Amino acid sequence: MRVEIIKCLQDNFSYLIIDEKTMIACVVDPSEATPIIKFLENKKINLKYILNTHHHYDHVGGNTELKKKYNCCVIGFKGDKDRIPEIDILIEDDQIWKKDNFEAKIYHIPGHTTGHIAFHFFKEKKIFTGDTLFSLGCGRLFEGTYEQMFNSLNKIKQLPKDTEIYCGHEYTLQNSNFCVANDPENFKLKEKIIKIKNNLKKNLPTIPSTLQDELECNIFLKAKDLKSFSKLRDLKDNF
């Protein structure tokens, strides 16, 4: 199984998860259809599934057009059935979603929105975290509480450390400035920032990160309790 990173809109990432044996693919959070179609064109890849982490337009914007063109199936959180366009399959917390050779555990991780989920492809050690966990950051609280977000991040923190993190946006460099400002002695973070800048210079994504890197460098994952997490979240909003 291979993951192709498709840049969308300003700074969104959509991901194609391709099973190379069958050439069947899932797309995670298609912000818009055109870049996905462009990638698929002339390749014999059969787009069968759309996986949505949450209902925001920059994560579901391509659902309708892709479904119309490829007749694919839209998978999203049960609680968001009225706000994910074209939703077909309703999934819930702790469930395993399994189709063809794809198998992912679903985590309900509210905070950014009340219905946000992550798709954990545990055999491949890859997790798609949408706008909940970013590299070196976490999502804004649009609908949920500090406590929900704190608990959601804690769920992700329990996964194996070599899990690859695929998030919804290229925010890594901006996020790194906030981490450095609040964690100036972190040598590991400084090393990571050098790599991040090198990638961006070559116009390459900074994704995937790893859980190991995030545990060591992401100030939001380093927050030891709800109070310090909440304080950081407030500071970041005004940074």
Structure tokens at 205: 């994504």
80 binds, among Zn ion, Fe ion, none (CB under 5 to 8 A by kind): none
Q: Is 55 a catalytic residue?
A: no
Beta strands of the chain (E only): which ranges? Answer: 2-8, 12-19, 24-28, 46-51, 73-77, 89-91, 96-99, 102-108, 117-121, 126-130, 133-134, 137-138, 164-167, 209-210
Tell me, residue by residue from 76 to 115, as one string, x for binding to Zn ion by CB under 5 A and - for no binding.
----------------------------------------
Tell me, residue by residue from 113 to 142, as one string, x for binding to Fe ion by CB under 5 A and - for no binding.
------------------x-----------
Q: Is 56 a catalytic residue?
A: yes
SS (H, E, C) 159-187: CCCCCEEEECECCHHHHHHHHHHHCCCCH
Of 132 and 148, CB closest to Fe ion: 132
Q: Which of the residues 29, 80, 131, 213 is marked catalytic?
A: 131
The correct pick among 6, 49, 58, 97 for binding Fe ion (CB under 5 A) is 58
Do 221 and 166 touch, CB atoms closer than 8 A?
no
Q: Is 58 a catalytic residue?
A: yes
Is residue 213 a contact residue for Fe ion (CB under 5 A)?
A: no
Is residue 131 a contact residue for Zn ion (CB under 5 A)?
A: yes
135 Cβ neighbours under 8 A, 6+ residues apart: 165, 167, 171, 172, 175, 206, 207, 209, 213, 214, 218
Q: Is 120 a catalytic residue?
A: no
Structure tokens at 186: 């972190």
Is residue 56 a contact residue for Zn ion (CB under 5 A)?
A: yes
Of 30 and 168, CB closest to Fe ion: 168
Residues that bind Zn ion (CB under 5 A): 56, 131
Residue numbers annotated as active site: 54, 56, 58-59, 112, 131, 169
